[in-house]
Amino acid sequence: MPQLHDRQSRIKNFSSATFPVLPNVPVLYLFSGVDLLTARSFFPASTVHLLVANLRVGHADCLCHSSCFHHALANAKAFLASWASFQFARLSTGRMELLAREQDGSRMLGIIPALLLNLALDFDGPAEVVQVDVDSQNSSARPSMIRIQTRRFAVTYRSMLLSLDQIGDDAPQKDCLPNLASWRAGSAHVDAQLRELEHSLKLSAAIAHEPTHDAETDEGSSRNSRCSHGVISIFKSAPHWILGTDWMAQWVLDHSVAVLQDETGLRLDHFYDAASRKRHTTSWLTRHAGLFPGFAKRERAWYASEVENLSNTFSGPQLPFRFGYGTADQNGTLLAAWHEGCP
């Protein structure tokens, strides 16, 4: 996989030259699909990664059966082919939904084959799995969370659809037609979902401060307590109608010590105005790179007021790798932000 390995190397070099030395805190990747490798490439020092997306977990015991195991291998190859077609910069939501729904008899494959493939392709070599835990939420018989502990790090995938009201879990996330005014207002239901995520973040933080089987002690975590309490948030090819709202930005900034995103993440003014917003007493430092490719199709009208600022901010040079909604001749945009007090 020369193309993938070259991308991982370019990301690691870019990250080390862009971010300060961050402590071992969890990485939260909302709307991630099954893209663990991007999180691992940008933040290799983090030993806990939490992926959240609207794809079914699947049945882990499926891999214990010969026919299902071979089906899972074919599923993983199809995932890899789809991912490679986008230069590993993003995933096709529709394609991933179809792959995750594939079944072998009564057992659903879900995201497990793709997640295990991510572990096999890790830049430090295949990650050896030492423990797998599967859980269901809200008394559901369908698995909604899987946690995999390897000798170097842990990854948790949680199946969740952020929504304004109680709807079926088969509803699309990024391909729906949102009510922009309703999303700007928020709702009690999505607030409750965010509280559930906060619980997951607390568990992830506790795990991050436990040594993994082969992980080295992180000296940076004791140097700066402010940067040790929170997560590193990643947003890429995400629903901007959610992340661009003031209440979602408030939640992200309240829980993050650093943010990595493309133009679909928080609005740029959220970082610049953070110090003046309620409860924020520190500023955010930012670095940006890449060329803004413009919003696609329907979203041009939705976010017209942001285009000028994005075009001025992301005016080049090109990123050394594709990130998010890059086009044939542009690699997309990347904004890195972190607390001013971080080392």
Whether 170 has a pLDDT exceeding 70, the answer reads no
Q: Does residue 49 contact residue 40 with C-beta atoms inside 8 Å?
A: yes
| The pLDDT of residue 293 | 85
Chain centre distance of CA 308: 26
Structure tokens at 75: 């599923």
| The pLDDT of residue 77 | 93
| The pLDDT of residue 221 | 42
Whether 27 has a pLDDT exceeding 80, the answer reads yes
pLDDT, mean over the chain: 86
Beta bridge partners of 327: 330
- Residue 91: helix, strand or coil by DSSP? coil
pLDDT > 90: percent of the chain: 57
Instruction: Characterise 332 by phi-psi region: left (phi > 0), alpha (psi -120 to 50), beta (else).
Output: left
**From CA 238, how far away is CA 310, in angstroms rounded?**
16
Helix (H) or strand (E) holding 79: helix 66-85
More confident residue, 22 or 28: 28
| The pLDDT of residue 262 | 96
Whether 78 has a pLDDT exceeding 90, the answer reads yes
Whether 261 has a pLDDT exceeding 90, the answer reads yes
Compute the Cα dihedral for 42, 45, 47, 48 and give only its sign: negative
**From CA 174, how far away is CA 214, in angstroms rounded?**
38
pTM for this model (two decimals): 0.90
| The pLDDT of residue 133 | 93
